[in-house]
């Protein structure tokens, strides 16, 4: 019997990739402004000065009194030297600080951005591209 040779074939697949534009996107950003009234708490200090007459001589060799606090009142001694070189406490200034808070309405401009997305066909195409189809 003669020898029969049957060729054996092998198929191989080669896969490649290519970049295909399927569409484009255009982004448009706009900034809108809106004016609003915003309440603000504003604080300010008000100082009240009260003069209290003392007119009392200090003992000889006494040191000048220093400013001091009594509660929320700052007391500042006011001195005068007299001819006999004794210290006379003339008066005290009593300084009281009070805080006041007021609410005012301020006009402010607030901005916010909006972005629109528009889908476009690929360059050179009349209609949106369809993905490629494979046929066996």
Give the single-character DSSP code of 52.
E
Residues 94-115: tens digit of each pLDDT: 888 888 888 888 888 888 888 8
pLDDT class of 12 with cuts at 50, 70, 90: confident
Measured over the CA atoms of residue 82, residue 85, residue 88 and residue 90, the dihedral's sign is positive
3-state SS track over 42-59? EEEEEEEEEEEEEEEECC
Q: Is the pLDDT of residue 119 over 70?
A: yes
Measured between alpha carbons, how far is residue 13 from residues 7, 9, 10, 19 in Å?
A: 20, 13, 10, 20
- Write out the two tokens for 46: 């008000």
Task: Give the per-residue pLDDT at 136.
Answer: 47
Residue 87's alpha-carbon distances to 69, 76, 78, 82, 90, in angstroms, are 22, 15, 10, 7, 9
Domain segments of the chain: what residues?
38-105
User: What is the per-residue pLDDT across 16-59, written as a single tens digit (0 to 9) for each?
Assistant: 888 888 888 888 999 899 999 888 888 888 899 999 999 888 88
pLDDT classification of 127: cutoffs 50, 70, 90: low
Structure tokens at 42: 């504003």
| Whole-prediction pTM | 0.41
Closest CA to 56 of 78, 37, 35, 40: 78
Q: For the chain, count helices (H), then strands (E).
A: 0, 4
């Amino acid at each position: 019997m003669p020898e029969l040779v049957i060729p054996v074939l092998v198929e191989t697949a080669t896969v490649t990739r290519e970049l295909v534009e399927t569409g484009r996107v255009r982004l448009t950003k706009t900034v809108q402004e809106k004016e609003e009234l915003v309440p603000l708490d504003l604080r300010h200090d008000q100082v009240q000065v009260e003069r209290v007459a003392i007119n009392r001589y200090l003992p000889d060799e006494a040191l000048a009194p220093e400013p001091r606090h009594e509660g929320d009142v700052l007391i500042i001694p006011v001195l005068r030297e007299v001819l006999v070189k004794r210290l006379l406490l003339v008066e005290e200034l009593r300084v009281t600080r009070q805080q006041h808070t007021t609410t005012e309405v301020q006009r402010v401009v607030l901005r916010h951005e909006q972005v629109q997305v528009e889908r476009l066909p690929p360059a050179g195409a009349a209609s949106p591209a369809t993905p490629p189809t494979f046929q066996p």
